[in-house]
Every structure is written in C-alpha cells, then in structure tokens.
Structure 1
C-alpha cells in the first residue's frame, strides 16, 4: 500500500513513485554547450543560421543529394561518429567555434538523422552545404591607352569628352603600389604579358581544383583575365593597356567555374586577409532572393572587417548586376546588398545608366563601363565597350592579347577596385568604413536631370541608379590623403515586429507599419528584414521611409518574378547616409497587380553608423510605495513618468539647449546643437 506520509525514497522503493532524478547524459551536456555556442555567435551569424536552417528553403533533390552539412554541437569531435546522427566524416567548419561539417556517405539518410540528433540534444542546429551555380555578370568580348575612354575620354567612340574616371592626374603621385587586389573570378592568365609583372602567386588559389594555380582551365574561362586588366594591368610599359591601379599587386582566386558552397565562399572572402587588401568580385549567383550568405560566409565577412588588413578591414567590391532588362534589382542578391561590400552599377561613355545596369537602394557608386545598342528598344546606334587584357593566342574573346568589347557591371566593379587601391596607397590607415565614407563624399553627380536623383535628410544627393554618383578618382584620392578615420561602428536593432497584416490585391493603397527609434545613430547603412507570404512576389512594391522622409525602394513591382514569398529576406539601403536614426521609420508594401494576395508577417529594422554625440535620450521613473488600511504593503518600482516636460540645458551657462516631453514609457529624446565658444 502507498501512504501519503512516505518519503520519495520509500515511495520509489515500494513502487508507488518513479524518481525524476536521472544522471546527466552526454546528449544533455552537448545540448547545453551547443546552445551557449550558438548564443555566443554575433547577431548577424545567428540570423543567418535561423534563415538557412529552414528546410522549406530547399527542394527534395537538394535535401536528399547533399552530403555535407554544417552542424553546431558541444560534443567533442571524437564523439561525433557515435551520436544518433552518425556522420561518416567530421571536420571543423571555418571561423565558427563549435561548428562542424558532417559528411554522410549516403546523403539520403542525412536529413532524418540530423533531425533526430536535434531532438535528442546531440546538436543544436544544422543546414545543408548546397552547391549553388554562379554566372558571370556579363558575357563580354576589347586595345591600347588611346582606346581606354573610361580612363581618359576625349570624345573617342562618340562619347562625351571628360566623361571618365578622372584618373590621369592621380597617376602623377599614385599607381596603387603596395596594395594587393585579389581577382575572384573564373581564373586569371597569370603569364599574360600585361599582368605578369604585377602578379603574386603566393596569395592565389584555385577553389575548384584545390591547388594554388588560378589559371583558366577551359577555353570559355576568359572573364577573370579581362577583369584583372581593368583593375591593375601593368601601365607605362609600352604594351597594350593600363589598369586603373597599374602599380598594384594582383592575385587570383579561381571560383566561379564550379559550384560554390557556404564553406567555400567563407574561405574565399577570408583567404589571406592579412595580405590581400581588396577582394574584387564581378559575379553573383544565378538565383535571385536566394540566401547565399550563410553563417560561415557571414562570419567571414564580419571577420574580414574586424581582422583584415591588420584590423582596418578588407575592402570587398561587388558588381551590382546586369539584369535591368529582366526587371532585376541589385537588392535581390545578398552579396552586393551586404553592408560589408561595395555595390557598383554601370554608366556608359555619355554618363548615363547602361542599358543592363540594375538599380538598387544598396548601390554605393557607379563607374564607367560598356553601353550602346544591343537591342532595338534602345536609342543607340553602336555598342561601345571597354578595352582591357584578353587571354593570349587563340584563347580569349578575341584573337589578340586585348579585347575592346568587355563591359557590364563586370567592368565597372574592377575600375572601382583599382581606384580604391590608389586611395589606400595615398592613406594606408583607411578603414573599410573610411573607404565607403570617402566614396560617398567624393562621387560626382552624373546625369543630373535624371528623375532618380533626390536629396536625403543629410543633404546627400543619391539615386537608385547611381548611388551617390560616378566614382571620381581625383576627388577620392584627394579626400583620402588627409582623411581622419570615422568613429567605431554603432548599431541599433528594432524588432522583429509581427503585424501579420494583409496586403490587398491590385490596390494602389499602401499597407504601412511603423516603429519609433530612439537610439542616436548617424546612419550609414540601414537593413530591413521582411517575412512576407505572397504567391507572386514580383507584384510587390516595398519602400522604407526614414524619419527624414527619404524613401528607399527596396523592391519594385511589375517584374516577371513568379516566385513565392520573401522568406526573412534582408534588404539594405545606403540612402539614409548621414541622417539621424531617431524618429519614426515606416515600411510600406503594396500589390498593384491582379490575382494574388499576401501577408506581411514580420519585419526587423537595423541601423548602422556612428553614435551621434549631439543626441540626448533618457527616461524618468518613480517608485510607488503602496499602503492600505493595514499599513505598508510594498513597493512598485520603475513606473514611468508620462507626459512630463523636460528641459535640457548647459549647466555652465544655464542655456536651454532643447525642450521635449516624456512619452508613455517615460522616455524622452532630443537632438541638441552645441556652438563652440
């Protein structure tokens, strides 16, 4: 019989109860350790894990055919094979402690095994290293300095005289000497007579074949050699062409001739980051709105800026994209729209948007590249390309050592990389954010009558086509020479908010959600992460409105994109550069086409920049001591003082600097102006 008065030990002994105290298992220890490991990663990396660990992102073929998976676990490596998942091979993943790459000889068993391992606590989270296909940003086809109108436009090729990079004057003092540019592409002909003098084989690699030779391996791999020439072909040597930084050192990373995984890309963007200064990328993934930047690549980008170049940060340049005719936008790709990268659009020899160049709120600057008529719908009579190096002999785009038909944003990006090399030679202490600031403040407003231009709240002219304008080498280098580094980066995050509001079909009315930002950040980049259910996302306009009223068009409807949903997609915008973050931010969404409905499920706002020293915020609270007829009953602390008048004054002079009121949370904020005596 079981009696109420029994102790637990007696009840267990008599079979009246079961002990709930069990020895701690290896899996529970691993679960605790894995949880703490995941929480130790940066917020960006945690967010990337959250996105790519959603198995709904992948199709059946990807899930059943992927052998390599990234897992986070607290188990020691020697125990991995004995976990419930039982991987056939395990190796540490790059950059993240506690992250491993598990390989399964039979990929079809991987998903079920990993899901069971999560349930039993052996691992915390996992995702597949899916192989993604890459594509060149342009399929080009180019001789000699007098033909290089992008460097010195005298009106040749019927262009506008002076519409060039304004670079020749800079060469009197700088040519990029001492700066290393890594060409991440489909291979570079290292023995090309106009490239070999600047080549550094020690910091080159072939990620496709796993060796240190980045030379092209097939007759179609011509792109990287042309890109290298635009950036840093040897100049002043009486041979062929000149690169923008003709004294810089070149290296190559052969990447886009094969499939790329999160692990491989992380390796590329952290490869010799203490030696390489600039990573030049004229490529992107084929699929739009695909989360190619996984946790490992996110960590690589972050560490490149924290540790690269001795802590100053690497410069990572990406072409914005050539999909304008298909309605594409550079913000639909998560490498060009990363705040760690510089996205470059293209203009032609007359200074206007090239017919292929994608717009985007993420674009920082434009640069000169090819233009002209490649289709009857454009008012051009000729195609004008860029003259650069080409593979020698029978290989390459042409029969000689140069080609004069190269172009696309593939040529615009290395022009920017070369000019940045000149800036770094002029001032080796520039940080990665200093470089972005200088480009913003030195770019020239081209095509000034174009309707895309507008002034933001900080007085910067900015365009969805051109960013802050076309890069100006003379102005950029002059500004770089005596540049004082910006303060450390500050950021503020708001959300996620979960409004779950409907997006009406075929309506010009906006669905709007807002948040109030109190943190004082002088903005550089703003990120918006949205989760939207919609059966035809190409219908949607998505716009972010800052407290200053600046509108950033993140997505534009009317494009032929029949894909479903925006699954926690992060857009970015540089259009708030220099504005103050404080105030109300509004996200607007609408669907102006018939036949599809949707829901804005959630959104998050992140602002990055520098702390605003002239911004004051705080809160007033009071402590409520409560009594009843029996006497003192306790304290209810930290109640907000609502609607209180607040004066901010200079204690030394008694001058009132600002007046404001507390809100319903007791919070007040104000911008103040201090005038030097």
Structure 2
C-alpha cells in the first residue's frame, strides 16, 4: 500500500537565484511504517506523517509502498541522502521540495444577480428545494474569515485547517489575504443573515484550508488537496501557476498522486470533486493547456463569461475547459464579502466563475449524493448551454455536443443539473487505454514547417480490461526539444473529425526548455468513438529567424470508457435497425437515458418494429424517441 506522509515545513535554503529549496523531502519507499522510520533515522531524516495511500501492483504481487515526506534536519549530513541509492529494493524515488509560484485568480461578485440566476437557472434550482444542504465545500486559498456574518452560520471547522502554520487557526482577517473569504462568500454565504451577498449554495457547509499564506510546495498542495477527503465533498482552488503567458507548470509528483488517489477513495469511494479556474492570462497570450491543474482529467476546469455572454479580456482558451460560469462583469467593481466582517469590492477573474461552479455542484450533489466524480462531469457535459455565449469557434463534435475552446461545453445550468442528478444512473468504472510504442517520433522540424503523425488505434480492443469504446478524456504526452517554446502550436484531430487545439502560440514564452513529459488534455472528443485514425499536428511558427529545432515526440493516447447500458463486446457490433441516420448517433440516442435525448436528433424514419409503441419527433422522417429499441448484431441476432 503506497502511503503519502507529510513533513513539517523546514528552513528555506536558497541555493540559486531562481529556485528556493526547503528541508522537506518526498520519498516513495517500499515497506511498513516501522521500516520507513528506521531508514529515515539512518540517513538523517525525520518522518512527519501520512498524506495519502495507494495500492501498487506489479505482476501478480501487491506491494506495500510508503510515499513519505521527510524533514532533513541535520545540515552537516547533506551528503547522506545520496546514500539512499544503496537501498534499491526499497527506494523508488526521492525529491527535495522547492517553493512554487502560485497566484490567486482574482474574482469579484456578480453585478447582476438576476442575470446570473436566470441564465444559469440557479433560482430555479432553489425553487426545486436545493440549497446545498448536507454538502461540504472547502476553499483552498489564503484562509477564510470564519466570524464574518455572511459565513459564520455555514462555517465548518472540520473542513478547515491551516496547512501553512500546521495548526487550527484558520481565520483570515487581513485586507491582503481576502481572496479565500470572497470565494467562500460566493459559494455559501448564508441567506438569512447576509450582510453583503447570498451564496449559490447558501445552506452548504463551508470550510477554508489556508495554504497560500506562506511557502507553497508540492507537500503543501498535496496536504491541502487530501485533507479530510472522506468528509469534504468539493475542493475549490482559486489559484494556479502564474498567468504570464510564459509559465509551464503544474502539480508535483505528490499532488498528482493525491489527485489520482482522491478520485478513487474520496467521498467514501465516489471521488473527491476538484474545481479549478481556467486562468486569467488571456491578455498576455496565455493558454490554459500550460496549466497542469486545469489541464488534468481529475479537475473540473471552469471558464468565465460576462453577463452578456461575451468573452472577458483575461480569458484563456484551451480544450481541457469543461464548462463556464459567470465571472466577468464588464470591469465594474462590485460589493462582495470583505475582511474584518466588512463588505468590499473585488476584481473579476476565473476564480469567481469557479466559485459559482462549486456552488452549482453543491446543489447537484444535494440532489444526488451518490454521484461519482465522473458522473458529475457527464452531467456537466450534457446539460451545459451554449446559446447564450458568443464565441467564434463553437462546433459540434462527433457525438453531437456543441463545444468551444473558450467555454467548454457551455454555461452551467443549475436547474438542468439537479434534474439530471435526480434520475442519473451511475456510469461504469473508468477504463484507460494507453498506446504509445508505435508512435514515437524523432524528427527535425524547420521554422514554418509542420510535423504530422497519423495513428490508427483500436481503443485497446485486444485488451479487454483496458478496452475503450467511447471517449471521455484524451491525453497526449509529449517530449519536445525546441529553441523557443512559444512558437509551437499543436492540434489533435479525432477519427470523427473533431480538432482540438492542444497548444496555441504564446508570444511571451521565450523558453528553450521545450516540453518534458508534458500532458495535454482535451475533452472535446467526449462521447466519440475511440477507434480510428487520430492525427497529431505540430507546427513551428517562428517569431524570429532561427535554425530548425530537433523535435523528439512521444504521443500517448489515453481515454476513458463511459458507456452505461451495454457491455463492450456488444458496443463494437450493435446498430439500430431501420434508421437512416449515423449509426453511432442513433445508438446513443436509443440506448441512453435522460439528457442524451436532448443532444441527439435522429435523421431517419421511425423503426417499423416500434410503431406499435409510438414514435415521437418533429416530422415523419425525424424519429426522436421510441418506447422500445430493437438492436441487432451484424449476424441479425436481435437484442431487446
């Protein structure tokens, strides 16, 4: 069992101008706790506690691993850590912690609550009786002011902790550290005692994890994202790497493993919900695929729109954004929850949009507490609305979903989400298909040229446990050496013809470091078939004259099986009898429930075999629903 152990924050050691190292180390080591403590003491470390636990299986054997955080407390013993390599059967990796630059994605309150409620249908969800009751949300930020009249009735001490100080003082009362309080007010400001605002989920429990008011390391992030994961339902992070158009950064190894572990074990096995803002670097040409937090399949990345449906100047596009909430209101300063029990003004940003989204998610979880983390993503995809948002790149993917690089699948609709949650049937377990060996490339790309790779995949159909029939997420991992990283753009085209812009040119990114095992993720192929030709295209658009740069490329295809009504062997061969429309669209419309019917419109006549039960649609050649669906294999064996 792999466990993640946390260290106390050590004294900072600045070893170079750019990087600040701490006395804290993370180590993954095989053995029980007694063995871990013994080896730590042997090499001059102190074991400081557990962060998380994972199972590690090799072949037919299940190994016990401890991913520990150790504090190195004897400076004169600095050379001892290298001797850990003499324990090759026990030590898998060791990493010294560095201070990471994390910035708040400043937010402000909704300037027109009626517009906010009407277009997102929040008030309609309230009228159905949902207010977030029984749902716990924790804000990972600079702390929240627990005594503020708007927050005090819903404040939850069990969802709060001071990771920076490693104590129970969770209050934030300074004017500088007010961001967490603002976000908390958007989510769960109480209704009856409100002084400044009313939260989207005004009966939800709200906590604050103080982790930005000090040095942020991989350990700090991992501790924060895993704190009380059996109790907290939704983690709201209003921060990320610097949105300067040049930074490429994301979670460290501990945080990545905590995210992966938490969607398996959090919320009593249903999976913790992580809500992240897509980023505020639009005015600097930033692209949110360069943010490894919003770019993760385990987080719900939220974009922002003005109340008029237009694009805020700060908005970053990318294909990992799942949906949109209101977060920009034409640069007006509006009143929100402030420090020292006051109300204050705040600037707009995607952290407000993420806060609104966290409130809507709390309403949805109240409607159905049994939703898994993937159920929730499915509900967001199939209920979000595109019609109110103005964007030049709206397109319909191969599964019938309208999607945009600016807004994901559209504006969150609270009423539709709670209604869908009420009748939702849990999706099957996630499958992952990884195909990489056949598509490794090492080529020279010249300025202005294009490198293209076409890969035929079967969705790992020959490997039953990994077989992926229909796609949720697609992840492309690349290694690229390049003289100027900002000159590169990358697109991925699915077998259904959906093109995802994984990376756009970033004019301010002058880095020569390229991409080292960087994962780009797209949700734009959601619901499409995995099998077929996937085309990856990398283009070098030079900002200045230079020689060609060598590209070493590894393309890793990862998808998730999502289909909920048929077994995988049946999926591969089933078609709808008698319908003239595309087989896949007909199939999805026929065998799915609820929201799918609002997505797919069939283009064929009613199947004669269901005419006795009735067939509904806008015309005789537009059958949309049928009470019984008759499916058959290619060998004409019928399935009811």
Please classify the TM superposition score into its range, dividing by the shorter chain length.
0.7 to 0.9
Who is 2:182 aligned against?
A: 226
Who is 2:427 aligned against?
A: 486
TM-score scaled by length of structure 1 = 0.74
- Per the TM alignment, residue 344 of structure 1 is displaced from its structure 2 partner at its CA by 0.4
Asked if the contact 1:63/1:128 (under 8 Å) is kept, the reply is no
- Per the TM alignment, residue 389 of structure 1 is displaced from its structure 2 partner at its CA by 1.4
TM alignment of 1:642-661, pairs within 5 A = none
Deviations 1:351-407 (A, max 9, x none): 1121101111100001111242xxxxxxxxxx23554211236xxxxxxx3234442
SS at match of 1:269: helix
SS at match of 1:124: strand
Distance 1:114 1:291, change over 3 A: farther
Asked if the contact 2:288/2:317 (under 8 Å) is kept, the reply is yes
- Per the TM alignment, residue 611 of structure 1 is displaced from its structure 2 partner at its CA by 5.7
TM alignment of 1:322-471, pairs within 5 A = 322-372=280-330, 383-385=331-333, 387-392=335-340, 401-446=342-387, 450-471=391-412
- Per the TM alignment, residue 325 of structure 1 is displaced from its structure 2 partner at its CA by 1.0
SS at match of 1:66: strand
C-alpha RMSD of matched pairs (Å): 3.1
Report the Cα distance in structure 1 between the residues aligned to 2:353 and 2:459, rounded to whole angstroms: 39
Report the Cα distance in structure 2 between the residues aligned to 1:68 and 1:469, rounded to whole angstroms: 42
Asked if the contact 1:282/1:410 (under 8 Å) is kept, the reply is yes
Asked if the contact 2:174/2:339 (under 8 Å) is kept, the reply is no
Report the Cα distance in structure 1 between the residues aligned to 2:149 and 2:638, rounded to whole angstroms: 59
Asked if the contact 1:274/1:309 (under 8 Å) is kept, the reply is yes
Report the Cα distance in structure 2 between the residues aligned to 1:153 and 1:361, rounded to whole angstroms: 27
Asked if the contact 1:270/1:304 (under 8 Å) is kept, the reply is yes
SS at match of 2:447: coil
- Between 98-107 and 345-354, report the one with greater CA deviation: 98-107
Distance 1:293 1:332, change over 3 A: same
SS at match of 1:384: coil
Distance 1:495 1:276, change over 3 A: same
Deviations 1:193-242 (A, max 9, x none): 11111111132111111112221264310111111111111114464311
- Per the TM alignment, residue 116 of structure 1 is displaced from its structure 2 partner at its CA by 4.2
2:511 counterpart of 1:581: no
- Per the TM alignment, residue 113 of structure 1 is displaced from its structure 2 partner at its CA by 4.1
Who is 1:626 aligned against?
A: none
Find the partner of 1:214 among 149, 170, 178. 170
Asked if the contact 2:28/2:66 (under 8 Å) is kept, the reply is yes
Who is 1:567 aligned against?
A: 516
Report the Cα distance in structure 1 between the residues aligned to 2:349 and 2:123, rounded to whole angstroms: 23
2:119 counterpart of 1:164: yes
- Between 180-189 and 444-453, report the one with greater CA deviation: 444-453
Who is 1:599 aligned against?
A: 551
2:28 counterpart of 1:77: no
Report the Cα distance in structure 2 between the residues aligned to 1:458 and 1:426, rounded to whole angstroms: 27
Report the Cα distance in structure 2 between the residues aligned to 1:546 and 1:59, rounded to whole angstroms: 46
Who is 2:91 aligned against?
A: 123
Report the Cα distance in structure 2 between the residues aligned to 1:61 and 1:228, rounded to whole angstroms: 36
Report the Cα distance in structure 2 between the residues aligned to 1:82 and 1:238, rounded to whole angstroms: 53
Distance 1:107 1:493, change over 3 A: farther
Find the partner of 2:263 among 280, 305, 328. 305
Find the partner of 1:203 among 125, 139, 159. 159
- Per the TM alignment, residue 485 of structure 1 is displaced from its structure 2 partner at its CA by 1.2
Who is 2:442 aligned against?
A: 501
Asked if the contact 2:241/2:249 (under 8 Å) is kept, the reply is no
Asked if the contact 1:72/1:124 (under 8 Å) is kept, the reply is yes
Report the Cα distance in structure 2 between the residues aligned to 1:493 and 1:431, rounded to whole angstroms: 23
2:52 counterpart of 1:95: yes
Report the Cα distance in structure 1 between the residues aligned to 2:155 and 2:294, rounded to whole angstroms: 27
2:92 counterpart of 1:153: no
Report the Cα distance in structure 2 between the residues aligned to 1:346 and 1:108, rounded to whole angstroms: 51
Distance 1:251 1:451, change over 3 A: same
- Per the TM alignment, residue 65 of structure 1 is displaced from its structure 2 partner at its CA by 3.7
SS at match of 1:73: strand
2:486 counterpart of 1:531: no
Distance 1:238 1:124, change over 3 A: closer
Asked if the contact 1:67/1:105 (under 8 Å) is kept, the reply is yes
Report the Cα distance in structure 1 between the residues aligned to 2:71 and 2:24, rounded to whole angstroms: 4
2:496 counterpart of 1:540: no
- Per the TM alignment, residue 448 of structure 1 is displaced from its structure 2 partner at its CA by 5.7
Distance 1:233 1:675, change over 3 A: farther
Distance 1:674 1:547, change over 3 A: farther
Report the Cα distance in structure 2 between the residues aligned to 1:274 and 1:291, rounded to whole angstroms: 28
Who is 2:580 aligned against?
A: none
Report the Cα distance in structure 2 between the residues aligned to 1:456 and 1:135, rounded to whole angstroms: 34
Q: Mark the runs of 5 or more structure 2 residues left unpaired by the alignment.
A: 5-13, 54-64, 461-467, 576-582, 584-631
Report the Cα distance in structure 2 between the residues aligned to 1:330 and 1:488, rounded to whole angstroms: 28
Report the Cα distance in structure 2 between the residues aligned to 1:649 and 1:93, rounded to whole angstroms: 48
Who is 2:145 aligned against?
A: 189
Distance 1:88 1:279, change over 3 A: closer
Report the Cα distance in structure 1 between the residues aligned to 2:41 and 2:123, rounded to whole angstroms: 64
Deviations 1:20-75 (A, max 9, x none): xxxxxxxxxxxxxxxxx8xx89xxx9xxxxxxxxxxxx985688943222223346
2:208 counterpart of 1:252: yes
Look at both structures and tell me which one has the larger radius of gyration over its CA atoms.
1
- Per the TM alignment, residue 135 of structure 1 is displaced from its structure 2 partner at its CA by 0.8
- Per the TM alignment, residue 120 of structure 1 is displaced from its structure 2 partner at its CA by 5.9
Report the Cα distance in structure 2 between the residues aligned to 1:223 and 1:509, rounded to whole angstroms: 43
Distance 1:226 1:615, change over 3 A: same
Report the Cα distance in structure 2 between the residues aligned to 1:386 and 1:281, rounded to whole angstroms: 22
TM-score scaled by length of structure 2 = 0.78
Deviations 1:597-626 (A, max 9, x none): 2313322111123268475599xxxxxxxx
Who is 2:560 aligned against?
A: 608
Report the Cα distance in structure 1 between the residues aligned to 2:264 and 2:19, rounded to whole angstroms: 34
